[in-house]
Structure 1
């Protein structure tokens, strides 16, 4: 009995030490400070009152509000603390990771956030460190997206030209924190830190198309994955497709689908400082949802409104934000630059901008993240910000593509075999 009490005291002491380290890692949110400088909950930012709040909105995005094309509903700041296992791993291994001599690899990285603590403008590697943190932000060890409803919209006519339905699943093979096995899956022949599988369910001419993408541990490796095309009855290497071509006739670039997935080695990364900004992070149980109910779950999808229905109808809250700029190293690249607004607590990017043709603004990318405790019961206490709505707005073609997403994290039915290339419908016929 004494031994058990001693063990409990030891675990408590370790927990307190880890909590102290977690605070220094930046996972705590000073909500009192944010409340002081935030618009009041319930405020609706419109063209009329925008001048009062313009300093909290991206300058380019504010033009949508100024033009009457969008409004921003404000809610109180809310902590999106990651799962305790991720926090503990950061406390244990934080400061251990190093940017290696070989491009595309981190040395001595095990788990948690690779580079915790505040970034410094005088650190030449701060931009790349922020990019690595964004890449390995905690979003769960696996994910099931049983419904992804796409709408291809015309900005001028305000009509939906096409609707499609997809489903997807994802898994981390490395740097795992919650689902056994931890910290990695032993059988990982692709040497991938994660994988993502997407399938078209009801998508017109794209029906039956499947994409299997492996996220390389080594960022210097070429894109790795396969696409099954039912019309051809075969599976082709993902390398035969351009990452600068839109997905399924939409406005979405493959590298900007839900998260930024392009190779970090393809860009020069600059940290532009920290600020406070309104971002679409919200409670799912506090918004007016759409009439679209999930087929097999007690879940209603996010609605879209504003011009052409291009903007997620969720609340925005004030967040501490890291500004990250990535500039293409290849002068021939279609995308010349991206500017990310990275949430400083979760290290996900709910909002970023894409530039082309000599730094001409091209697209806005918006991902609305719901707090896990306001979502389905399965996701409660998961510590993972949940993508529920996504929009890419192309200001050069006057179009947008919106997604309504049902997300479940740390799902037992998602298994490594789901990402076996032999499981694709075109198995045995690759080229």
Structure 2
């Protein structure tokens, strides 16, 4: 009997530890509403504060390192707004509750079993947990991002000289996003079928202007099985053929911009392509606002429906005129597994409520020196286009990628539309690219 108890003891302890560490509905509530007990604060920081070169040191503790450097170098001024709730849609929260504790990490990075829908790991990350970084990465992969289906149309990129502000090129795109699996809000739920290859999510891009890039198209298909390499295809209009991209090409400059394909949405790659490390929780200023309350662009024509894009100013007109909120954020480091990758690491400041990766991010070159600073500002869906009201996601609204080494930037003007009808499943097939001329 004693021998049997002795043999069972490790199993009983493991079972107890597992149940003690299991996420609860209280964890779900805290994950989606980190401000239930009140909004974060910092001495001297209030709505209306302007942070610039003169006072950046005073607020260094609530700034991402890259944004601090841009401010300290006098490249732009940051306008602080009140912290507000960016509540995620109820179906996604309900799916998180319904599938609580079903998702389990495998033995290797990139292995996940039992995931159904919602946020896989809603519990607060623990610095003592060696897998905390991986869990946050999975929360991003299966996060709402653009929801089950959406588009950015039009989507302008401007290539600028940071020193002079000269606009070297303007590209007008359409971007489309679609979740094929783990859908929670838009029919069909939970999956678009047929889907024999197990595509989880796809991105389709089409350039409309200028003429020399017209009809250039990019298709990225990411699989639910993270061990499978993404399928990526590029169609160049002047060549009139689709070619499959080699894995290394997703880390090349995309059409001469400061972004690589892997930079899209903050990080556009597999969980298994990086070693993820949770570096702690901080209150950080992140760009989040109500679009309809901002200063809007005067150098960009309004859309036919009256929609106006966010304005840019600062050095080289490289920085959006949006407000920044003090937000709870998880600092997450991603180091490429591939030693020949052009960057040595990225640091993300992940908004704890939305758990996206593009509010503030930094890329470091292979020498470990700061190379690029990336930021995408988000508008509350209820203060944007009527189609987005009630969408329950943070709408990407304006963005910049600043190359601090080459003194160059790419600015982005978004018209995001959470309208599943604009992103039908047939748009994300290779044969669709050939029919675009």
| Residue 185 (structure 1) aligned to one of 161, 179, 192 | 192
TM-score, with length taken from structure 2 = 0.89
1:69 corresponds in structure 2 to: 75
Equivalent pair of 1:153/1:399 in contact (CA under 8 Å): yes
SS of residue matched to 1:34 = coil
SS of residue matched to 2:125 = coil
1:339 corresponds in structure 2 to: 347
| Alignment of 1:93 onto 2:77 | no
Offset of 1:30 from its aligned partner? Answer: 3.6
**Distance between the aligned counterparts of 1:148 and 1:246, measured in 2?**
18
| Alignment of 1:299 onto 2:272 | no
TM-score, with length taken from structure 1 = 0.90
Offset of 1:179 from its aligned partner? Answer: 0.2
| Residue 280 (structure 2) aligned to one of 268, 273, 292 | 273
| Alignment of 1:401 onto 2:407 | no
Offset of 1:33 from its aligned partner? Answer: 3.4
Q: Deviations over 1:315-348 (max 9, x none)?
A: 0000000000011222222111010100001101
User: Relative to 1, partners in 2 of residues 1:266 and 1:20: Cα closer, same or farther, differing over 3 Å?
Assistant: closer
SS of residue matched to 2:58 = helix
Q: Deviations over 1:187-220 (max 9, x none)?
A: 1133111111100100342111011111221222
Offset of 1:32 from its aligned partner? Answer: 2.7
2:430 corresponds in structure 1 to: 421
**Distance between the aligned counterparts of 2:136 and 2:342, measured in 1?**
23
| Alignment of 1:383 onto 2:389 | no
Offset of 1:259 from its aligned partner? Answer: 3.0
Equivalent pair of 2:32/2:354 in contact (CA under 8 Å): no
| Alignment of 1:316 onto 2:318 | no
**Distance between the aligned counterparts of 2:270 and 2:343, measured in 1?**
13
Offset of 1:313 from its aligned partner? Answer: 1.0
Equivalent pair of 2:283/2:329 in contact (CA under 8 Å): yes
Q: Deviations over 1:109-132 (max 9, x none)?
A: 001001001000010100111111
**Distance between the aligned counterparts of 1:200 and 1:340, measured in 2?**
28
1:32 corresponds in structure 2 to: 38
2:171 corresponds in structure 1 to: 164
**Distance between the aligned counterparts of 1:376 and 1:19, measured in 2?**
33
**Distance between the aligned counterparts of 2:315 and 2:47, measured in 1?**
24
Segments of 5+ residues of structure 1 without an aligned counterpart are: 1-17
Equivalent pair of 2:313/2:319 in contact (CA under 8 Å): yes
Q: Which moved more, 1:239-248 or 1:213-222?
A: 239-248
Q: Deviations over 1:353-398 (max 9, x none)?
A: 1111221111111111111011111111111100011111111111
User: Relative to 1, partners in 2 of residues 1:48 and 1:21: Cα closer, same or farther, differing over 3 Å?
Assistant: closer
Offset of 1:261 from its aligned partner? Answer: 0.8
